[in-house]
Amino acid sequence: MSYNTAIPQAASKRVISQKQIKANFTAIFNAFAKNHAKLGPTDTQGKHNMMILRPQALNPATSPTQAAIYNKKVATIPNLFYRPSNNQTPIQMTYPSIGVNPNASTQYSFVAGPFVVYTGVLINPASGTVVNVLPATTLRYVGLGVSNFIGGTSIVETHAIPTNIAGNSFTIRYEVPLSGSSRNIFYLAIGN
């Protein structure tokens, strides 16, 4: 039996409504047991063991004493958002995908805010090489590291510098011109 909001009626006698009230309590117990620890003599009774958030079309309003965690679609994909008190700017907490292919030269992840963290390695790129990271974001930081540098017979120290950081791309420039040498460039980029 499902829950009946019309029970008990004011004119109903207890002998009639007692079974109906008991059926309502059973319906509540069964409904509550979904996604919660069952009611009973335990320390976890009534606590959530799972939450399902239906996507919202709009950001919910929050008062000065409220905050909200909610589900909203981004390009048809459900994502979690946090909205601080007093209708402050919502913060995206999840991202629709994470690139984790260990054989790819570029990988990316997500940090709430909504930041995307990119890492990658480029084998022997020339000075002036333009790197485009995907999915496209606006880059806020790019750091480069040089590894496996071979510079001929003399030992030369070099540094790679990210320049022309714009949109989802940056350019690699070397502090010391390198001819006939090879190196690996590791990058860490953060965008939002």
> What single DSSP character describes residue 59?
P
Residue 178 lies in a domain: yes
Residues 140 and 83 grouped into a single domain: no
Residues 119 and 178 grouped into a single domain: yes
Task: Return mean pLDDT, the chain.
Answer: 80
Q: How many CB atoms are located within 10 Å of the residue 65 CB?
A: 7
pLDDT band at 179 (very low <50, low <70, confident <90, very high): low
Residue 156 lies in a domain: yes
Residue 39 has pLDDT above 60, yes or no: yes
Q: CB of 39 within 8 A of CB of 32?
A: yes
Residues 120 and 182 grouped into a single domain: yes
Residues 120 and 181 grouped into a single domain: yes
Residues 191 and 92: their CA atoms lie apart, in Å, by 13
pLDDT band at 137 (very low <50, low <70, confident <90, very high): confident
CATH value at residue 116: 2.60.40
Residue 18 lies in a domain: yes
> What single DSSP character describes residue 70?
E
* 170 class by beta-carbon count within 10 Å (0-12 exposed, 13-18 middle, 19+ buried): buried
Residues 116 and 179 grouped into a single domain: yes
Residue 9 lies in a domain: yes
Residue 99 lies in a domain: no
Residue 30 has pLDDT above 90, yes or no: no
pLDDT band at 87 (very low <50, low <70, confident <90, very high): very high
| Backbone dihedral angles phi then psi of residue 122, each to the nearest 5 degrees | -120, 130
Residue 179 lies in a domain: yes
pLDDT band at 171 (very low <50, low <70, confident <90, very high): very high
Kindly report the pTM of this predicted structure.
0.53
Domain membership of residue 169 as a residue range = 106-191
| Of residues 120, 114, 75, the one with CA closest to residue 100 | 120
Q: CB of 15 within 8 A of CB of 4?
A: no
Residues 23 and 3: their CA atoms lie apart, in Å, by 8
- SS3 state of residue 27: helix
Residue 60 lies in a domain: yes
Amino acid at 84: P
Residues 65 and 19 grouped into a single domain: no
Residue 59 lies in a domain: yes
Q: Can you tell me which residue has the tokens 């930081």?
A: 141
